[in-house]
Amino acid sequence: MTATTTKEELVFQLADIRFSKDGFHIARTTKGDSVAGKFNAQVGHCYKAAGEWDRTSDKALTYGPTFKIESAVSIRMPSPEALGRYLVFALRGKGSGTAAVGEIVVSMLVQGVKEEGLDLEELLDHCKRDTLIDLVGTRNTPKVDTILAWWPKIKPAADLMSPLLGYGLSEAMAETLINIYGSRVIEEVEKRPYDLILEVDGVSFLTADKIAMKVGLISKTDPLRLRAALATGMRDATSNGDVGVRRKLLVDRTMPLVNESVIENGRRKLAPGVPPAVPANVLENILDDMIKGSFVDAQGKDCEFSKELVEFADDKGEVVVWYAPLVEAERTIARRLAQFNAKPRPDLAARVEEFATKLGATLAPEQHAAVGMVLSNPVSVITGGPGCGKSFVLKVVLAALDAAGYKGTLIAPTGKAAKRITESTGRLAQTAHSAIGFGGKQRAAFNEDCPLASHYLVIDEASMMDTELTAAVLCAAANHCRIIIVGDVDQLPSVGPGQVLRDIILADIVPVTRLTRVFRQGAGSGIVTAAKVINTGHMPETTDDGQFVMVETETPAQDLLEAMRELIASGVNPDDIQVLAPTHKGDAGCTALNKAVQALLNPETPGSMQKLRRDSGDIRVNDRVIQGKNNRELGIVNGDIGWIDDISSDKGSVLLSLADRPEPLKMTAQESTNLKLAYAITVHKSQGAEAPYVLIALDRAASFMLRRNLVYTAVTRGSKKVMLFGSLNTVSGAVRRGEPPEGSRRTSLVSKLKASFPSIGAKPTDRIAAAMLSDTFDESLPF
């Protein structure tokens, strides 16, 4: 009998293999179909095959139809649960009233298809309306109609989203990955899940590990997995501000990541009574290979981090694993400061009074000393709290340098900090990144080979300068440049690794003036008073002028929101209010506060698709947002705050308004992945910024991380009014808990500074000025 065939495509999951020889397989699918052909057959895997159905041959008539495979590729078919999650996500806001689709009806669908042995995707593809209604009940008919009406439009993304959701990723993270990798996303995620940790913000080791284990491409003891876990430990250390971490601590922290673990008091620990599958000595061996730079992947290529770890003892003799690029940046800071310090500069200190008189200013003794110190030394530091006159001292210094004909550059770590310097000194200041053309991973446009054409460099808000940025800035200054460092050492250290200002002061190798007397009166003086009380380790109280208000409460988030409503009702512009919190988590953390403030100021429009999905809260048009990462191409930096003008509902592109830009910035969906809500931001993120009204929530749940410098930094962000919400025990405990003298971060900069200075030049007090003063530009200087 002649066989008739029909060319088709078949998608199936393999149930068992009945015959195999030389790559040819006869097998059965989970739906009972027979398939035959040459392909990489593995039970449980899913395939998309091209071929022909044999329904009429003698064998087919005897044994049943067989799909003859010409070619087949392995695919990832979503589980009913994953597809259900996608439906809830994709159909949010698509229907209204009884037609709105939510988790309940989708759960009914998922449970029904599992119990009946049906394929949910197939039911949707073939518009099996009656079957779907049978599964969820006739009262949910409008919801079924909504699903079927939208399915053709949302199905293309389902092929990418559903598998990702099946790996346990959030909808927002799945969208982020699709924006980054496009149609290659499943391949990228499955082939190299651990690379996502370094390539995609928000992907943790545990997330990547979950994917790797589900794909089944790796064992628990695979060196690639263990390297990724140790690299994560190092990255966590640097993200917390450390340049290095004790070797034993790094291994101890990694053990729960790669073995069975439990969460106790917010910390991951080894599961009690369960022998670790990966012993500590195995991790030690992998760490040794990473430090030696001898770790390679399966293709023989050097792995990320394999040459970026070094090991040496710290000042206390403890064995520490250091992140090599940061150690090199510390060496650069020490080398450059020593080079600057060894170059004599004209001593202008004798004319301090003359310059002050020209400004119509009267200097207090400590301010006079500070100005003289700066004008007589090539490298100097001025530190002090708010209202102590740092800006005034700097203004006199700049006037003196101008009178001598010198050209200078003023920088600060953030745009808002630079704007404040410009306002207080009358001189144009830039962000550090902008001034030196720094893009993070690329070399700055201005560097040792191509320095800035300036006689002096002022680094303001220096407490915010991290190790890598400081190194790049110092390399951008010419060798004959006078370096003036200004900042409040009692504030929180930088968001990035290091505590550069504190370490320079601790090293005691350049002259430092600490201003302590408060001069500010009038506007903001109550805030200054409260900050000074906090900085001495005492509990702040509401000031007489009402500019600082202490609200003792066990419900800080609730009371803060009520205070915000009252401020707005009294006529305060919501854009002038900034909410601060120590952390993102908890009832009084940034995530919860952002959602609450957003609901108050910018509630959701029903049915609107103009939104950016985020795990921390969806972003809508008119929302206040903060950039979480430097983007050199767009000219925005970590910490920039703006407002969403528009969101493309189909492409996800964004129009972002920024205070210092005349025109809105257009961002693609991928470029906007680092935007987050900014009604509430962490205290760390607020550094260098200032808002007229600052509301601070200190939650008891965050007590473990609360310290005096955090509260002090938060309070000093306000200019008109600051309100601090928290219980008596929480606030008093925080202000009593000061930093150790050496700071809370593990760095090696102090030892490098002390080692560098004696080898290059004499101390400042031993230097003899090599140039005479002149009121005109000194042509002998190299500019």
Q: Domain extents for the chain?
A: 8-74, 80-186, 192-307, 331-512, 538-603+611-736
DSSP state for residue 636 in the 8-state scheme: B
Amino acid (one-letter) located at 202:
G
pLDDT tens-digit series, residues 312-326: 988 778 899 999 999
Whether residue 433 contacts residue 442, with contact meaning beta carbons closer than 8 Å, is answered with no
3-state secondary structure 47-79: EEEEEEEECCCHHHHHHCCEEEEEEEEEECCCC
3-state secondary structure 111-126: HHHHHHCCCHHHHHHC
Q: What is the dihedral of CA 159, 160, 166, 169, to 10 degrees?
A: -160
Give the 3-state secondary structure of residue 283.
Answer: helix
Range 684-700 burial, b when 16+ CB lie within 10 A, else e = bbbbbbbbebbbbbbbb
Distance CA 394, CA 424 (A): 9
Into which CATH architecture does domain 8-74 fall? Beta Barrel (2.40)
Which residues are within 8 A (CB) of 1 and not within 5 positions of it... i.e. 6 or more apart? 56, 57, 58, 61
pLDDT in the model for residue 524: 52
pLDDT in the model for residue 598: 96
Residues of the chain with pLDDT below 70 are 1-6, 75-78, 93, 217, 294-307, 439-442, 519-524, 607-609, 632, 649-652, 758-783
Cβ-defined contacts of 290-293 (< 8 Å, 24+): 290/227, 290/230, 290/231, 291/321
Into which CATH architecture does domain 538-603+611-736 fall? 3-Layer(aba) Sandwich (3.40)
pLDDT in the model for residue 299: 38
Instruction: Assess whether the region 8-74 and the region 538-603+611-736 belong to the same CATH fold.
Output: no
The label of the residue with tokens 């990694």 reads: 254
**DSSP E strands, 194-313:** 244-246, 261-264, 267-270, 309-313
Comparing CA positions, the residue from 722, 733, 693, 716 lying closest to residue 550 is 722
Whether residue 309 contacts residue 234, with contact meaning beta carbons closer than 8 Å, is answered with yes
| Residue 622 CB-density burial (10 A; 0-12 exposed, 13-18 middle, 19+ buried) | middle
For residue 709, how many C-alpha atoms fall within 13 Å in the half-sphere facing its CB?
20
pLDDT in the model for residue 759: 52
Distance CA 62, CA 102 (A): 48
3-state secondary structure 477-501: CCCCCEEEEEECCCCCCCCCCCCHH
- What are the distances in angstroms from CA 776 to CA 343, 374, 400, 769, 781? 20, 19, 12, 17, 12
Instruction: Look at strands 429-431 and 408-412 and give their pairing.
Output: parallel
Comparing CA positions, the residue from 406, 402, 398 lying closest to residue 458 is 398
Give me the residues paired with residue 269 across strands: 262
CB atoms within 10 A of CB 156: 9
One of 3.40.50.11900, 3.10.129.10, 3.40.50.300, 2.60.120.10 is the CATH number of 331-512, namely 3.40.50.300
pLDDT in the model for residue 652: 67
Amino acid (one-letter) located at 280:
A
The label of the residue with tokens 């310097």 reads: 421
For residue 354, how many C-alpha atoms fall within 13 Å in the half-sphere facing its CB?
11
